[in-house]
Amino acid sequence: MTISLLFGVHAHQPVGNFPAVIDDAHVRSYGMFLRVMERYPEFRFSVHFSGWLLDVLFERFPDDMARLAAMTRRGQVEWFGSGDCEPVLAAIPHCDRVTQIATLSDKIERCFGMRPAGAWLTERVWESSVVPALVETGIRYVAVDDYHFLCAGEDGARLDSFYTTEEDGRCLDLFPISEAARYRLPFSPAAEAVAWLEALASQGHRASIYFDDIEKFGIWPETYEWVFEKGWLTQFVEGVLASPLIRTDTFADFHAREKTRGIVYLPTTSYIEMNEWTLPAPRAAAYHALVDTEKAAGRFELHKPFLRGGIWRNFMSRYPEANWMHKRMLGASQRLAALPAPQRSAAMQEHLHRAQANDAYWHGLFGGLYLPHLRRAVWNNLLALEATLATVAPAPTFESVDLDHDGHLETVLRNGHLQAFVRDDGDATLVELSSLVLAHNFGDTLRAYGEAYHAKIDQAQTAHAEHGAGIASAHDRVAFLHAIVPGDATPDLRPRGIFLDRLCSADGPLRALDDYRAGNREGTWIAGGEGWRLEKSYRLEADSLSVIFRTEGDAFPALIETELNLALPSCDGYGGRYVLASGDIPGGFGQPLELDEMLQLTLDDSELRGALRIETGLPVRLKAQPHRTVSQSEAGFEKIMQAVCIALAWSPLAGSEQRITLRVIPAT
């Protein structure tokens, strides 16, 4: 009896990723993989490329895309669809699921002459709510992990074919991706991998189902040498083709030939590592310890289906910044959907699709929430869409609503240039300040969080000192990209906002001013104590936002300090610099800066295509420093600059008024 090898690879790069990163991925992985596979027309396999990546590859590597098209025409390659910009389908509205899937299917059909019947699920996040949109767009089957099936109570020995599920009467077939295959290919020697497949054939298995990241073929540590220079991929392909017990099939051919194993209903889940990443740090540590205990006792494989961790949507409750971005995206989607069809454009739809790209909404070993350039790509597209919407269906200039469902109202101020969102949570700070002209959110920063993997910092330093950087497995790799000590990972006690206030008495330390309450006038908040009162008001004026601090009473604290956490594209790069009123440049954004008696400072950023100017009515003392977070990626621990943290301090007088203005200056 022969076994069908259903071999699929998934290729994706985040919207907004650096061109050099994409070029490197293609040179070391995508292009090399295609050139090897081109030599073996009999080896049939499936591919999924996210639509945004396809657009980039057609522009930058047209010869390899022509090679892939030829392989498709000769029947060697089957295409899988998905959302065009790789959203987590479960996290976007039904109407956007439909347009995302249809956009990529149309693109694949136009470029490669095949309309997908199968779909890749981003990060293998399964929720049954996605079934109707998949079916509505012509998708007949998807691939998810065999772990999903084990969590539903299915017998692992029977996960060698597809099953059928339904939602609201709409049926979709599900292929279980073999974890054993994912761990073997391409990491075990090619001959051993072929022998393993032959052993499955001799045991009567119908199929071995493999679908995983193509980056494992050339980009993961040590894989380029192993897969291409030492010839693993060539040896594996030739070994499979030479075996009388293995046949290569596309998912489409296998699906047409075989019958379903039966009905199944999967729980909401993703792959097991993702389920751990979704948990808050203390829970993640407890979960990891439980898994280690089960492994040490030899019970893990038996109990694994019952050790699920969290779900992908937990990232919205773990990280308020991700939740804010997500709810703002949902609001823009609703505004676009409410437009009459003639007023919608392809460009507006494209901006929304790009703002739904998954990478910037989550954090784990491979997630991109900690990467400012990926969050910035979401905000750039979201704000470009809102700028267009403002011309055809303007939003209110003032409203008060709990946009992110955290129990606190946000006061929203808008004009044709700026949008400001102030959260009524006691801090009365800006959670977003966006320029529609520059399509940039100056509030797009990330506070420092305690992460479960921070416990590895001491271990990482010891390993680095004794053994050098890292080990082969990306999941277990312990390495440094920057010098890091435990104190660098201290979590923030307050959110990172714009105009986050503190007070200081004559003989005491600074303390948080976090008991503001909404005033009677729009955009105004009040705080106070015995013998003093402070009024804080936000005002939009064309291309500037002003905050006016008015003090009353004889017992006012000795010092007011307000903190501005400002996100700019060149935070840690060469394009960001401070410019004094005199025109002098005292340093870049990544350097500390102290000024006395300051009235004006410009934050100039070449990548922003503009600048942000701080102007004060009364002289202030300024201290600026970079705000960095510590995170772990597949390459190791790294520090990432999230924002410029600027503290402005002054000694108020009773009855005085301090006006601080942030003025957006587009490049000329």
Point out the catalytic residue in the list 23, 55, 213, 258. Answer: 213
Give the pLDDT band (50/70/90) at residue 55.
very high
The topology under which CATH files domain 3-153+161-270 is 7-stranded beta/alpha barrel (3.20.110)
Residues in the chain: 668
Give ranges for CATH 2.70.98.10 in the chain.
Answer: 489-666
Listed in sequence order, the residues at least 6 apart from 101 whose beta carbon sits closer than 8 Å to its beta carbon are 81, 82, 83, 84, 89, 119, 133, 134, 137, 139
Point out the catalytic residue in the list 86, 96, 123, 410. Answer: 123
The helix (H) or strand (E) run that includes residue 167 is strand 163-167
Task: Specify whether 213 is catalytic.
Answer: yes
Residue 479 is predicted with a pLDDT of 61
Which string of DSSP letters, residue by residue, matches 302-327? HHGGG-----TTHHHHH-HHHHHHHH
Residue 198 is predicted with a pLDDT of 98
Give the model confidence (pLDDT) of 59-87 as tens digits.
Answer: 999 999 999 999 999 999 999 999 999 99
Listed in sequence order, the residues at least 6 apart from 570 whose beta carbon sits closer than 8 Å to its beta carbon are 576, 589, 605, 606, 607, 608
What's the rounded mean pLDDT across residues 348-356? 98
Tokens 């347009």 correspond to what residue? 99
CA gap 35, 458 in Å, rounded = 43
Give ranges for CATH 3.20.110.20 in the chain.
Answer: 3-153+161-270
Q: What share of the chain is helix, strand, coil (3-state, %, to 5)?
A: 35, 30, 35
Residue 473 is predicted with a pLDDT of 43
Tokens of 549: 């601090």
The topology under which CATH files domain 489-666 is Beta-galactosidase; Chain A, domain 5 (2.70.98)
CA gap 472, 226 in Å, rounded = 12
The single-letter DSSP state of residue 394 is P
Task: Specify whether 179 is catalytic.
Answer: no
Residue 206 is predicted with a pLDDT of 97
Give the model confidence (pLDDT) of 459-517 as tens digits.
Answer: 655 554 444 433 244 444 456 666 787 788 899 999 999 999 999 877 778 899 999 99
**Helix, strand, or coil (residue 461):** helix
Give the pLDDT band (50/70/90) at residue 47.
very high
pLDDT at 458 over 80: no
**Helix, strand, or coil (residue 144):** strand
Q: How far is CA 19 from CA 60, 154, 357, 582, in A?
A: 10, 43, 17, 37
Give the pLDDT band (50/70/90) at residue 620.
very high
Residue 482 is predicted with a pLDDT of 67
